[in-house]
Amino acid sequence: MASETIRMYGTTWCQDCRRAKKFFGEHRVRYEFIDVDQDQEGLRIVEETNRGKRIIPTIFFPDGSVLVEPSNAELAATLGLKTSPDCPFYDLVIVGGGPAGLTAALYAAREGIETLVVERSGLGGQAGITERLDNFPGFPEGIGGAEFAERLVAQCRRFGVELLAAAEVTSISNDGQYRATRLASGEEVRSHAVLLAPGSTYRRLGVPGEEDFIGAGVHFCATCDGPFYRGQEVLVVGGGNSATEESLFLTRFASRVTIATRDAQLTASRVAQEKVLAHPHIAVRYRTTVQAFRGEGKLRAVVLKRLDTGAEEEVRPGGVFVFIGLQPNTAFLRGVVELNEWGFLATSPTLETSLPGVFAAGDARAGSTKQLVSATGEGATAALMVRQFLRAARETPRASEVERDATPHVPFARSS
């Protein structure tokens, strides 16, 4: 069955379908989803393909190939994503392919530093799945998040950066004078230095039913899942910049968007607030929290509570999008480098962590502003600090060709 579009046959309650949808969303891959609970022809195709069995997801690709219940590794291979390193040794390994990691890679590669970037999801990070960036300098009309990410990736490739996507780092360690980075595949690469830029992910509410309905009514990415709610009412939880910006994006599909925030007012920027409050298809419910999600297989209702009165109410949106803040992707680093009480990476003034030769930048670093422009700035700074570290160790191949930097290498001292 050949088609110009990837077609995924599945259901809203299938865990493997949710995982595949998340994978495609992270890698900005366009696809068509057919719910076989609602589409009899789709169910027939699944049964015909699987010799009478109802196995989902069943995914058809434009070249005619079909994957049934594929792993992320199989999806990556079919999409032609590079997931294994070419060499066992690099000057610099960067963990994380978001704006901080990619900017650092760009700066390092231009200095002749052999660089490998390892990203567990899609290159571009959170920026790549953001609908539009309106506050990045140099783009007066704004720029789409996907386009921004693609430009940055192309720029890295131009300077010879090796990029891995859908490849997860499981551990970092010192191996004598070198750093060892182990991947989930079992492969290990060594390097003179490592830059940690793993970024962060959206926090969850932690209320009853949330885990049950993730991908089946509860979402954390409007760009990925907003189109599934065309003509329906949706609920957005949160009152900050992400919540307001994604609410505005959701009005492209949803008939009405309701924002529920626990605060007495929105905490987003003034511009974002003005846009939301003036939009005819957005309503805001203040001092309101989510108590529970209910349904069978698919989300059917949400229990809301008014903090000022204690009154509870059951509402029935088509879907819920949660934007209540970020948590750092640093679980694999516990016990390896110093983290603060919230799990963010502690660094010295030169962005070096407590492990010599291992640096950090971007949203996962303690003290970072969690802004795109700051992440790119930290990435550039981190690359320069890595360059200085390599010079001090007399390991950089082209050190003699580069003008000496007056900035000294400063050992780790916890940042404020």
pLDDT one-digit tens code per residue, 179-196: 999 999 999 999 999 999
* Three-state SS at 220: coil
| CB-based contact 159:152 (threshold 8 Å) | no
Per-residue pLDDT of the chain (416 residues; tens, 9 = 90+): 456 799 999 998 888 998 898 899 888 898 999 999 989 999 999 999 999 999 999 999 999 999 999 998 899 999 999 999 999 999 999 999 999 999 999 999 999 999 999 999 999 988 887 777 878 899 999 898 889 999 999 999 999 999 999 999 999 999 888 999 999 999 999 999 999 999 998 889 999 989 888 878 898 888 778 888 999 999 999 999 989 999 999 999 999 999 999 999 999 999 999 999 999 999 999 999 999 999 987 899 999 999 999 999 999 999 999 999 889 999 999 999 999 999 999 999 999 999 999 999 999 999 998 888 999 999 999 999 999 999 988 644 443 333 334 444 455 555 54
What Cα–Cα distance (Å) separates residue 20 from each residue in 121, 239, 386? 12, 29, 36
- What is the number of other CB atoms lying within 10 angstroms of the CB of residue 30? 7
Give the C-alpha separation, 344 to 368, whole Å. 9
Question: Six-digit token pair at 30?
Answer: 């366009």
- Which pLDDT does position 404 carry in this prediction? 37
> Strand 288-296 to strand 298-306: parallel, antiparallel, or no bridges (unpaired)?
antiparallel
Give the C-alpha separation, 70 to 354, whole Å. 39
The helix (run of H) or strand (run of E) holding residue 271 is helix 270-278
* Three-state SS at 115: strand
Looking at the DSSP assignment, which residues form a beta bridge with residue 345?
Answer: 339, 365
Q: In one letter, which amino acid is 231?
A: G
Note the pTM of the prediction, 2 decimals: 0.78
Question: Six-digit token pair at 260?
Answer: 């529920």
- Which pLDDT does position 416 carry in this prediction? 43
Give the C-alpha separation, 172 to 334, whole Å. 10
- Which pLDDT does position 26 carry in this prediction? 86
Q: Which residues of 256-273 are buried (b: 16+ CB within 10 A; e: fewer)?
A: bbbbbbeeeebebeeebb
Question: Six-digit token pair at 258?
Answer: 């309701």
The helix (run of H) or strand (run of E) holding residue 173 is strand 169-175
- Which pLDDT does position 2 carry in this prediction? 53
Q: How far is CA 107 from the centre of its chain?
A: 22
Q: Which residues of 331-358 are buried (b: 16+ CB within 10 A; e: fewer)?
A: ebbeebbebeeebbbbbbebbbbbbebb
